[in-house]
Structures are given as C-alpha cells and as structure tokens.
C-alpha cells in the first residue's frame, strides 16, 4: 500500500511538473493556467502548454504565497491556489455547481472535442450542455455528469489522465 502511494505521488508530481520543453502539452496544465488566471497572474491562452508565461506566473505566485519558488505545481502550490487548485482531474465525479482544477481540465478537454464553452473551473449550464453533447456523441449515458466512464473517454490516449 505504501509503495502504491509513493508511486501515485511520484506520478502526480511528474504529471504536474512544468515541462522544460515549451511544446509539451499536458491537460493538467490547463487547470494550473485557469487557477493562475483567477489570481491575475496568467494572461496567456489556456492551451495546456507549460510555456514561459505559465512558468513565470507559477513562480510569481509561489513567491507571493511564501512558497518554495521552483515553478512546479506541487501539492503546496495547488493548495495555496485555493478553490481552483485542487483536486486533480480524474479524482472525483464532476457535476453542476462544482468548482476546481479538475473542472478546468474537463472544460479544456471538452473544448478540444469541439465544445464552445468558457474554461474557468466552474461547472455551470454551458459545461453541463457540453458534457451531455459529448456523452451523446460517444454513446455514453447522457446525464450531464462526468463520472468515471465519461472522464475515461475524454482521457483516451492520455493514460496519465485515466481516473483511477
């Protein structure tokens, strides 16, 4: 059990490490970008790319929050980001009136599948309609709730995002 927790922790850090290669895309980074934008620190696109603007905004946030300035969105940084800093995508079922990092990632992934919705970390009516549309298109139960099957379908091809 302890080994599994250590592996999960290491995997989470690896998923959240801001890539040195600015071309690397990781949907979890979209969650970071939304949270940093809410703090007025990130003005770039929500694109899931850990480019210079994302790295800079992360470091500025860490400095202001009195955290170790390493440019990584680890647990302490995410917690300090507040409501939009947690939980990671795939950790819970998502539905209307929920807020968080995971909702931001859900919205980002839905936009990648053609939804025209705001990526703001708040699961409102537009996100609900987008989830229903995605579920209908992919022959999932159409309930507007992003549960394990919907999350897994959205994350296909991205094993690091698989709920679990």
pLDDT at 9: 44
Q: What is the mean pLDDT of residues 3-12?
A: 41
Q: b/e map of 127-160 (b: 16 or more CB within 10 Å)? A: bbebbebbbeeeebeeebbbbeebbebbbeeeee
pLDDT at 26: 94
Given a contact cutoff of 8 angstroms between Cβ atoms, the answer to whether 110 and 131 are in contact is yes
Given a contact cutoff of 8 angstroms between Cβ atoms, the answer to whether 63 and 47 are in contact is no
Enumerate domains of the chain plus CATH numbers: 2-84 (1.10.101.10), 101-161 (1.10.101.10)
Residue 122 DSSP SS3: strand
Angle of helix 52-65 relative to helix 27-38, nearest 10 degrees? 50
pLDDT in tens, 86-112: 999 999 999 999 999 999 999 999 999
Q: What is the mean pLDDT of residues 105-125?
A: 97
pLDDT at 19 over 90: no
Q: What is the mean pLDDT of residues 131-151?
A: 96
pLDDT at 160 over 90: no
pLDDT at 162: 33
Handedness of CA 134, 140, 146, 151 (dihedral sign): negative
Residue 52 DSSP SS3: helix
Residue 138 DSSP SS3: coil
pLDDT at 23: 55
Q: What is the mean pLDDT of residues 54-79?
A: 97
pLDDT in tens, 20-60: 344 578 999 999 999 999 999 999 999 999 999 999 999 99
């Amino acid at each position: 059990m302890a080994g599994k927790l250590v592996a999960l922790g290491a995997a989470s850090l690896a998923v959240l490490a801001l890539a040195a290669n600015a071309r690397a895309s990781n949907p979890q980074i979209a969650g970071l970008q939304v949270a940093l934008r809410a703090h007025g620190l990130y003005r770039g696109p929500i694109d899931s790319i850990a480019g210079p603007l994302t790295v800079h905004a992360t470091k500025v946030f860490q400095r202001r929050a009195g955290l170790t300035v390493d440019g990584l969105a680890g647990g302490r940084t995410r917690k300090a980001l507040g409501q939009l800093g947690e939980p990671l995508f795939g950790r819970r079922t998502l539905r209307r009136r929920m807020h968080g990092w995971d909702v931001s990632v859900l919205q980002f992934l839905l936009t990648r599948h053609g939804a025209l919705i705001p990526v703001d970390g708040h699961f409102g009516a537009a996100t609900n309609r987008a989830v229903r549309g995605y579920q209908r298109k992919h022959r999932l139960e159409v309930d507007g709730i992003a549960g394990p099957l919907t999350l897994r379908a959205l994350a296909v091809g991205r094993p690091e995002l698989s709920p679990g």
